[in-house]
Amino acid sequence: MKKIVFTILSLILAYNSYKLLLIFFELEEGKFSVFAIIIAALAFSLLITGFVAFLGFVYPTSKLLPNTYFKIRHPKTLKTIYKWMGVEFFRFLLLKTFYREADNKKYFNGTKAGILLFDYNTKQSEFGHLIALLLVFVVSVILLIQGHRTVFFWIQPFNIILNFYPIILQRKHRIAVQRLMMRSGQK
């Protein structure tokens, strides 16, 4: 039942993304107020991210990429990017708003099976945000080519916050996951 409901929700979000995109294409650049552009850019980024996320909640979407993609090869570089971009602050905000401390137990419970589940969840989350990041970016470039410079300008920060930061966060989590898996003799 959950699979059906989430698939339907995903399709609804995809349809609404499409309808919003049509609005972007039909109106001239000067017809939007800056406030309307900001709201529309945020809505579009949220719709695309939600569309991909709902699919990832019920389908193993991360399996579309090879496991080699998910292996962290340069952890020091990743940690530098994480620190330089302030992803720790982003993580703090997530923990204070969307993911309460008590909820974290369902993501990692400290067992060997929990390590595998956490690994799977980080891959699912990263894949969803990666696809959303790419979709939003490609669409925004098309909008830019069509002359919608202001829309392009405002979509980018939302795309970075909603999709790029979570990718960096999941990759940083995977450094610890890989270390735990090596210690426990998994993979």
Q: What does residue 111 show for φ and ψ, rounded to 5 degrees? A: -95, 170
**Res 86 pLDDT > 80:** yes
Residue pLDDT, tens place only, 100-143: 655 555 566 667 777 888 889 899 999 999 999 999 999 999 99
What are 100's two structure tokens? 């309460």
**Res 187 pLDDT > 60:** no
Residue pLDDT, tens place only, 43-72: 999 999 999 999 999 999 999 999 999 999
Give the pLDDT of residue 98: 75
Residue 158 to residue 163: CA distance in whole angstroms: 8
Average pLDDT of the residues in 170-178: 89
Q: Return all residues near 187 (Cβ < 8 A) that are at least 6 apart.
A: 181
Q: Nearest to residue 88, comparing CAs of 168, 176, 175?
A: 168
- Give the Cβ contact number of residue 12 at 10 Å: 14
At residue 186 the predicted structure's pLDDT band, cuts being 50, 70 and 90, is: low
Q: First and final CA of the chain: distance in angstroms?
A: 32
Residue 152 contacts residue 141 (beta carbons within 8 Å): yes
Give percent of the chain with pLDDT exceeding 90. 60
Give the pLDDT of residue 5: 95
**Domain edges within the chain:** 2-184
